[in-house]
Amino acid sequence: MAKNLILWLIIAAVLLAVFNKLETSTPSQEVNYSQFIQHVQVGEVKKVTISGSLIEGVFDNGTRFETVSPGYDASLMDELLRNKVEVQGKKAEQQSIWTQLLVASFPILVIIAVFMFFMRQMQGGGGGGRGPMAFGKSKAKLLGEDQIKTTFADVAGCDEAKEDVKELVEFLRDPAKYQRLGGKIPRGVLMVGQPGTGKTLLAKAIAGEAKVPFFSISGSDFVEMFVGVGASRVRDMFDQAKKQAPCIIFIDEIDAVGRSRGIGIGGGNDEREQTLNQLLVEMDGFEVNDGIIVIAATNRPDVLDPALLRPGRFDRQVVVGLPDIRGREQILKVHMRKVPVSDDVDAKVIARGTPGFSGADLANLVNEAALFAARANRSTVSMEEFEKAKDKIMMGAERKTMVMSDKEKTNTAYHEAGHAIVGRCVPEHDPVYKVSIIPRGRALGVTMFLPEEDRHSISKLGIESAICSLYGGRIAEEMTLGKDGVTTGASNDIERATAYARNYVTKWGLSEKLGAQLYSEREEQSYLGSSGGGNASHLSEETARMIDQEVTLLLENCYAKAKKILEDNRDKLEVMKDALMEYETIDAKQIDDIMDGRKPRAPQSWSSDDNGKGDAGNAPQAKVDVAADQTPDTGANNTVSEP
């Protein structure tokens, strides 16, 4: 900065001197040499100054002139003296040695300046560190303490996680409080949780509360095609952090660079392992990085290298889980501050009807509701818009332009009614919330089940009931259309029922014949954390045959149980089909009317009194299908009919 200022001052001084010289100089009249001689001969020239071939002078009237001698003229001096012209001689100006040197070296200086400019651009000096030569420079973005406005007040639904990280804030504010007792703050904090639970937001809140510089980078920013680049970036990032200490380094999706060594491709010298090794050294090596706290986030802690998780590196793991009903209410209130909501909107009612929702899901819910209100040209967001938003998120947007024949529509109504009736009758099943034959997303119809409360596990009887309800649609088609009229709409149901049954036997240890033993491959053994899709290589042929027999027996028993329920409620199946054909969508109260043998009431608009009291099953919400190869979570269950 100082060098640039001096350079501009020199340029300004030179320009000022040139302009002053131009302003002070008086314009001269140019005459040729013949005219000059004539003026001398008639006595009109008063004074001349001769400098080589250049002759400058003044006429009698005061006008200045100049001319150039074409060659040496021996008679000129006699002519000037004869006519009494005052003659002065002037020494020819010669450039100084510095001026000559500057003029001679100017082209070379220009070439050097251009070369340095392009080299600086390539190294990222003029492009924010993104030049092609800036391979080893860190891509971490530095946010100053005044740039981070997020605080713990903006983070809701994860009170336990906030308590775990609050002492980090206290340490960054007053490190002497811990150091005088010999305590050491964790060098690294690993935030673990499902996508959308607020791990990144919580890290920003820590930096916002502590008022310290915040370096943000993604794990993928370290990995390049050239070996050693990632390690260089790690070194550069920690070098920058040391200059800003105390500070926070936040690495998002650290599993991109922290995956266990030895399971990648390329052996022990690939780029990812070199980067991980450098990260391990920087976090706990010979050099001490006091005042630097590394916070990382991942939703795959199972694939991280053990050396990264040991004490001294990531000393503490903070689990940022899905919020419970109270947490969802708090998150909704945070997001509702940004939109004008009506008086009928009750965050508690919405929270009770959204089990399994993450913070990102709830933020999307509020945003979709605001968009619905804007389309309707309303000044506030009412509960009606929130209900429409939840249906759109969970079931997909309505495909109003899709044309369905009466036959296909009737078949879909039978299919969804079969799901609803079986789900209503089997024990330990989530209550039926809504049945619709309006095409949404890729589904021709949807049956939604809503749990009465947050759950973290499911019983053996509950799994069997879930399989029964999945088969309800297929059985209803078979009962009404015959075996030859069964459609492909139950493909998703069959896939999920089979996955449930196989996990029932091989993973959850619920088969009495095979016992509580794991027969499936562990997910961590595959490269990308998936099950691989193949058969378990460690099983004998006899064991594999027994597993297939147990899975088949379970599915057959559940199928028979669901068929018996529909046969006993054949009249209700017809009534529910007629209600779906008339209203297209029926809710829990209409389903209760049908199951109690009454005529279903006409659909009514939503009101807080209807959903704020009574069974939680009446609260209008469902969530995305639970993956059948995982332990069922707290969410509601959807059963869809595919085209």
pLDDT tens digits, one per residue of 371-401: 999 998 999 999 889 988 887 887 777 776 6
Q: How far apart are CA 69 and CA 545, in angstroms?
A: 118
CB-based burial, 151-189: b 16+ in 10 Å, e otherwise = ebeebbbbeebbebbeebbebbeebeeeeeeeeebbbbb
Tell me: the pLDDT tens digits for 454-474? 777 889 999 999 999 999 999
What is the per-residue pLDDT for 263? Answer: 53
- Count CB atoms within 10 A of the CB of residue 91: 7
Angle between helices 229-244 and 271-283 (to 10 degrees): 20
CB-based burial, 625-639: b 16+ in 10 Å, e otherwise = ebebeeebbbbbbbb
Taken in order 623, 624, 627, 628, is the CA torsion positive or negative? positive
Listed as ranges, residues in the chain with pLDDT below 70 are 1-10, 12-27, 91-96, 98, 118-141, 143-146, 224-227, 262-270, 285-290, 400-401, 403, 441, 521-537, 604-643
What is the per-residue pLDDT for 522? Answer: 55
Q: Tell me the HSE value of 68 on the side-chain side, using a 13 A CA sphere.
A: 1
Instruction: Evaluate whether 633 touches 322 at the Cβ level (below 8 Å).
Output: yes
Q: Which residues are catalytic?
A: 416
Total number of residues shown for the chain = 643
What is the per-residue pLDDT for 8? Answer: 62
| DSSP letters spanning 50-68 | EETTEEEEEETTS-EEEEE
Alpha helix (H) residue ranges in 482-529: 491-506
Q: How far apart are CA 279 and CA 230, in angstroms?
A: 9
What is the per-residue pLDDT for 149? Answer: 77
Identify which of 222, 250, 219 has the alpha carbon closest to the alpha carbon of residue 143: 250
Enclosing H/E stretch for 209: helix 199-210
**What does the block give as tokens for 9?**
């001052």
What is the per-residue pLDDT for 94? Answer: 64
Q: How far apart are CA 521 and CA 541, in angstroms?
A: 16
